[in-house]
Amino acid sequence: MLLSSLSLVALSTCLGVVKGIDHGASPLPISYGNNGSVGPDGPWWTIVQAVNYPDQFMTLLPSLSNNSLLINSTACLSQSAICPTPQPDQFFTWTESEIENNKTPSEELQPDEWDEWYASLLNMSGTGQFFSERMNLHPEGDNSVVNEMGYLVMGISNSYSAGFAAGAEYTLDTGFFSLYAEHDIFSWPDQISGFVWHNNRTLNDAYKLGYIPSVSYGLHVGSVVANVTPSLILGGYDSSRILAPPLVSDSRSFNLTGISLNVTEGDDAYASEQALPVTGLLQANGRSVDSIDVFPDPGLPYMYLPRETCDAIAEHLPVKYNSDFNLYFWNTEDENYHKILTSPHAPGPGLMAQSLKTINYTDENIEPATNAPSWDSTWSGTLTALQNEESQAPVVDTKGSDDGVSGGGIAGIVVGVVAGVVIIAGALFWILRKRKQNAKAHSGGQEEVRPYYATDSRSPSDGPTYYKDSPDLSSLDKGPATRETQIGEQVPLAEISACPDPVEMPTLPPQELAGSGPEEKYK
């Protein structure tokens, strides 16, 4: 559903097995860029990521896809391709190094063989392949700093397209940078010999090589339209973007317990005359519901909510359901649309200076900003309170509300979660880390089926035989330069309390470790 930006902060654990190592590494900021037109539903901020040798710089969206995806330089060249912004110079091209290193691709893959979750929600078609590839993590785009990772599993799109209900489609022209880390290794057979590769995933490998302090990240999606700069920190987070104690969950899902519409100051431009705040908008199966599970993913461009919930929200906003696309569209000619989105006369919200914090593999606490401003004050230079024609700008005092509100006439979905919600300028921010090794015993050595959105009633499959996670394997390289696997006693990660509902963590300083330096790494 196309609505104004939603923000929330969370700590979420991932299942997996990893040896606890104190590398003494620092958080690694990833460089962002923006070409202004990523995707037909954009513009979205994108990262600029180096792959291959010598470096090829790919335009990618951070995501929770099973594996990263690059776009083949030939994908937009066929006559049947419908690329929103064909820029072949930013696409992946095969080089001699792939052949020399025996990096043979897999057989042709249907979209659900690359990622069943994305294939379903984006209604994907076309073909792609798996292959092994080098990636280089340049902190903040500094090419002089080399954090090389070889033999990572990646997908490459030869002709993947995203489709809509009435048959419209577009060729994917932007790849995905996977932050998925529930299992270290992914297995697949190459097309020529059938040899089964066991390739590392990005976050897991970066941690084992000592490039980041933990298998974790902090992500703030940001907004191109509102000029809210994004942030992606591997092994850490930017505390200046956390304005209150963060929400904590022991999984990647959140329990959505309410949706409301409101303003912090001035009049509103909602279509209905219902008194503010407008509440009770969370509906499903023909009735109001207390909660639903939601699964935010930064690589997916829309919010997926029950149809009844979207209809209830749409009654108050200048949006209309379009069955051809199965989406809600803003009526950009409606006067209230411009009032709701406010006037973009300032460069963006008043965020404090960046303050990078490390997430060590032993940490159990995430620290918000010190003396953080209120959410609405960060927009004070950007949003304009609407004037009431009769009473001249009455003020609605909602600063004590647990639900949070949108600022200065902006229409927003305010999400109440079990432990309360934190509203931040921008689209989305959350932190993921891995849970300790006993998760393997609970899963029987198999990857848990990735959850679907609450409105999806289909039963997902476990995928084809070879295209699967390999939780029983250590970190491996296959090829001329085999890295030594991690052997010996497994030191469990410190575990956040795995209670069934999200809980709020105390805002104590992160626990810092003193002592051991990084382990030796073999390439």
Q: Which of 115-129, 477-491, 507-521 has the lowest mean pLDDT?
A: 477-491
- Environment class of residue 313 by beta-carbon count within 10 Å: exposed (0-12), middle (13-18) or buried (19+)? buried
pLDDT-derived band at 29, boundaries 50, 70, 90? very high
Tens-place pLDDT, residues 366-382: 777 777 777 777 777 66
Residue 351's pLDDT is 58
| Helix (H) or strand (E) run with residue 19 in it | none
What's the pTM value of the predicted model, to 2 decimals? 0.71
**456 or 289, greater pLDDT:** 289
**368 or 425, greater pLDDT:** 368
Q: DSSP secondary structure string, 347-380?
A: SS--PPPP-EEE--TT-------TTPPPTGGGGT
* Rounded-to-integer distance, Cα 13 and Cα 441, Å: 16
Q: How far is CA 382 from CA 34, 274, 310, 405, in A?
A: 21, 26, 27, 16
A 10 A CB-CB count for 343 gives 12
Tens-place pLDDT, residues 253-301: 778 888 888 877 777 777 778 888 888 888 988 888 888 888 888 898 8
Read off the amino acid at residue 161.
S
- Environment class of residue 304 by beta-carbon count within 10 Å: exposed (0-12), middle (13-18) or buried (19+)? middle
* Rounded-to-integer distance, Cα 273 and Cα 215, Å: 48
Average pLDDT of the residues in 383-395: 54
Instruction: Kindly tell me if the per-residue pLDDT of 490 is higher than 50.
Output: no
Cis, peptide link before residue 230, omega less than 30° from 0: no
Cα 56 to the center of its chain, rounded Å: 23
Q: Return the bridge partners of 232, or none.
A: 219
- Closest CA relative to residue 264, chosen from 347, 384, 369: 384
CATH 3.30.70 fits 28-211+461-492, yes or no: no
**391 or 329, greater pLDDT:** 329
* Domain map (residue ranges) of the chain: 28-211+461-492
**355 or 312, greater pLDDT:** 312
Residue 364's pLDDT is 72
Tens-place pLDDT, residues 200-254: 899 999 999 999 998 888 888 888 877 788 899 999 988 888 877 776 565 667 7
**480 or 98, greater pLDDT:** 98
- Token pair, residue 354, equals 């960046």
Instruction: Kindly tell me if the per-residue pLDDT of 27 is higher than 90.
Output: yes
A 10 A CB-CB count for 451 gives 15
Which residues touch 496 (CB under 8 Å, ≥6 apart)?
11, 13, 248, 250, 364, 435, 505
Helices (H) and strands (E) in the chain, counts: 7, 29
